Structure 1
Amino acid sequence: MLKHGGGLRAAARQYGIALEDWVDLSTGLNPHGWPVPAIEASSWQRLPELDDGLEQAASDFYAAPQPLAVAGSQAAIQTLPRLRPPCRVGMLTLTYAEHPYAWQKQGHHVLRLAPEDIDAALPQVDVLQLCTPNNPTGWLPEPAQLREWHARLRQRDGWLVLDETFLDVTPERSLLPLAGQPGLIILRSIGKFFGLAGARAGFVFAWPALIEALQDELGPWTLAGPARQAVRMALQDRAWQAAMRQRLPAESDRLATLLRRHGLAPGGSTPLFQWVCHPQAAMLHRQLASQGILTRLFDAPPSLRFGLPAQESDWARLDQALASFTLVKS
């Protein structure tokens, strides 16, 4: 199993700090998650029903053709590599680790690229997989550039696979207006923007033949009934969505300002996290954890991803903890 954010119970055991005393900044989730109401008992007692309005709600929210609902984008990440014979797959050097792992596991050759090398390397790959924005660096190419790469790949039956997990705050940067065109696969997740990671819900947008092949591979009931009900209601809550699109960028800017004040200038960001490269990132990660603050550590390059604190007391704890690390910053 690859390392991910979260794992709060393990951190509590390791550092001897009670679970309720932690500030978890490790996942990049919206800390003000959509408030799930009581779920109808029937959702627990019947098999999931595909005519419950979820796919239509997703189509309306994303302004795109009806997608395939899946158990989080992770389900699609693991399954898509099975739908092509072994080929050459380009992706960023530092990105969400499940992507290269899944493609390599199915026998594909993964070519790791810096953002500035993608254009020149495109003729060498059959699939270009990108997180847009990238996790954890926050790099986000212009939609026009993505459209050009898609057109070039499509000419030779290649794929452009976009993981837009962190893009819900800025939907205008999405390639969803092209959803359904051959060669373009877009993954979306409910976990980050809506803060509903436990629902394990996401969507795949692609051309009909690919959706059918993916559905056949995944089998029936890809998403549990209670999750379908909660996600449908969240997708329909336009007032909450509008409020979050105002709130989250402001809080991300506040986090960047706090980090800079302590000599930790971010090297990349999204509205849901800030990414800081530092040669002593591992030490800073451990010292923050010793005070009950969990961050996401990356080894190469040494760096930390900071999610948004949930409440004012969490902001204060992070500020105070960082103030004590003058040795780390020297």
Structure 2
Amino acid sequence: MGAARRRFPNAPEPFLDLSTGINPTPYPLNALSPACFTRLPEPDGLAELAEAAMRRYGAPSPAHVVCAPGTQILLPAVARLVPPGRATVLSPTYAEHARAAELAGHAVTEVPSFAELHGSDLAVAVNPNNPDGRLVPRIRLIDLGAALARRGGLLLVDEAFMDVATLSESVAADVDRGAIVVLRSFGKFHGLPGIRLGFAIASPGTAAALRAALGPWAVSGPALAIGKAALCDDAWARQMRSDLAYAAVRLDGMLEDAGLEVLGGTALFRLARSDYALRWYERLGQCGILVRCFPDRPALLRFGLPRDEAGYQRLGTALALGPVD
């Protein structure tokens, strides 16, 4: 929050942070055994977490699942699975994919259309996409993965927000049908990004290579315990998907009432357009409300979900003021 305080020194606090795409209602944490902190993680615990992730995400088997301390650390490891060559990233999207591919030695091109992913050595698609929620049909990804496999390439599909999308469009079950690696984020949907937990789903051989790159004890004891409990709680996940969908509709209505055009997003964030977007950003910041702006696309703003009724009321009051004159 240091940057926010410097940018908006007179804003009321605490800030209402709507700049992320993280569930504002985290999975409830129970007391953890002291052994989570005093002993190295047990292999059995890692195996149980992989089993839980397999069931939740629809992977073919636990051998297809790689448990990691967040998906961020997996990006360069996946990019290094193929020799340096031409990498294409379906854009606009999360900037870290291009950066990780460059670190792995690839020449990176950001492309606006899915068809342009063909012919690359490493292709990257975020599905559903951040920030616009674009969803590439599963069959197109499977076909691309198969085509890349025939020429020694690889398709990376980042499904960080698939938990709140159309689950049948996930390619987690299809990683054996081509050269496909799927990433799944734990922290975004479960509202626990500080746990640092994520997963790669890939063919057993590729999964083994990624595990070797991570080394032993990659996932902490607390993350193993919390991750397993949350991923096995299907009732919580079903209710949360419903709650988040309702919240997204409510947020859309508030933004539209204020004159912003909602372009899309997911149930965890909404993308809006306005000719006065930068003025809106300033107005909201002065009210202690942080949203995401895009310097290269100055007409766009991304809004996360308020955590509670007080947050909705605070946002509604700020929106009613209109953009800064």
Q: How far apart are the structure 2 equivalents of 1:127 and 1:19?
A: 46
**2:146/2:177 contact within 8 Å kept:** no
1:24-72 Cα offsets, whole Å, 9 max, x none, are 1111111111011111110000111221121111112122122110011
How far apart are residue 199 of structure 1 and its match? 0.4
- What displacement does 1:152 show? 1.8
Match for residue 86 of structure 1 among 76, 84, 87:
84
Partner of 1:304: 301
Q: Percent identical across equivalent pairs? A: 38
Residue type of the alignment partner of 1:307: G
Deviates more, 1:91-100 or 1:197-206: 91-100
RMSD: 1.8
* C-alpha displacement of 1:277: 3.1
TM-score when normalising by structure 1: 0.91
Deviation for aligned residue 1:169: 2.1
| Aligned amino acid, residue 203 of structure 2 | W
* 2:281 aligned residue (270, 278, 285): 285
Report the equivalent of 1:31.
24
Counterpart residue identity of residue 35, structure 2:
S
How far has the Cα of 1:312 moved from its partner?
0.8
Secondary structure of the residue aligned to 2:79 is: helix
- Which amino acid in 2 is paired with 1:224? S
Aligned to 1:145: 140
- One-letter amino acid of the structure 1 residue matched with residue 30 of structure 2: P
CA contact (8 A) 2:87 2:107 kept: yes
- Deviations for 1:189-239, whole angstroms, at most 9, x for unmatched residues? 111111110101000001122112212222111111111101110011111
Q: How does 1:180-329 map to 2 (within 5 A)?
A: 180-302=176-298, 303-326=300-323
- State how far apart, in whole Å, the 1-side matches of 2:216 and 2:283 are: 46
- Which amino acid counterpart does residue 57 of structure 2 have in structure 1? Y
The SS at the match of 2:187 is: coil
Tell me whether 235-244 or 270-279 shows the greater mean CA deviation: 270-279
Which secondary structure does the structure 2 equivalent of 1:129 belong to?
strand
Number of the residue aligned with 1:44 = 37
Q: Describe the superposition over 1:112-149 as per-residue Cα deviations: whole angstroms up to 9, x where unpaired.
A: 111xx322x24431221011011111111111222222
2: CA distance between counterparts of 1:145 and 1:184? 12
- In structure 1, how many angstroms separate the alpha carbons of the residues matched to 2:4 and 2:223? 28
Q: Residues 114-153 of structure 1: matches in 2 within 5 Å? A: 114=112, 117-119=113-115, 121-153=116-148
Indicate conservation of the 8 Å contact 1:276/1:304, yes or no: yes
1:3 matched to which residue of 2?
none
- Assess if the C-alpha contact under 8 Å between 1:179 and 1:185 holds in 2: yes
Change (3 A) 1:182 1:146: closer
Question: For the residues of structure 1 that align with 2:217 and 2:276, how far apart are their CA atoms?
Answer: 45
Spell out, residue by residue over 1:289-316, the C-alpha distance to the aligned partner (whole angstroms, 9 max, x if none). 1111111121221222101111111111
Shift of 1:326: 4.4
Moved more, 12-21 or 176-185: 12-21
TM-score under structure 2 length normalisation:
0.92
Letter in 2 for 1:46: R
Q: Distance in 2 between matches of 1:190 and 1:85?
A: 29
Where 2:73 maps in the other structure, the secondary structure is helix
Give the distance between the partners of 2:231 and 2:276, measured in 1 at CA. Answer: 41
Q: 2:160, 2:185 within 8 Å by CA — same for their partners in 1?
A: yes
Determine helix, strand or coil for the equivalent of 1:103. helix
- Matching residue of 1:5: none
Moved over 6 A (4+): none
Letter in 2 for 1:139: R
Shift of 1:266: 1.5
Contact 2:27–2:190 under 8 Å retained in 1: yes
- Give the 3 Å change call, closer, same or farther, for CA 43–259 of structure 1 in structure 2: same
Counterparts in 2 of 1:298 and 1:68: CA distance versus 1, 3 Å: same
Q: Is the 8 A contact 2:18 2:289 kept in 1?
A: yes
Aligned-pair CA distance for 1:87: 1.1
1:176-197 residue CA offsets vs partner (Å, 9 max, x unmatched): 1213444010000111111110
How far did residue 265 of structure 1 move?
Answer: 1.1
Of 93, 99, 102, which aligns to 1:101? 99
Equivalent residue, structure 1, for 2:168: 172
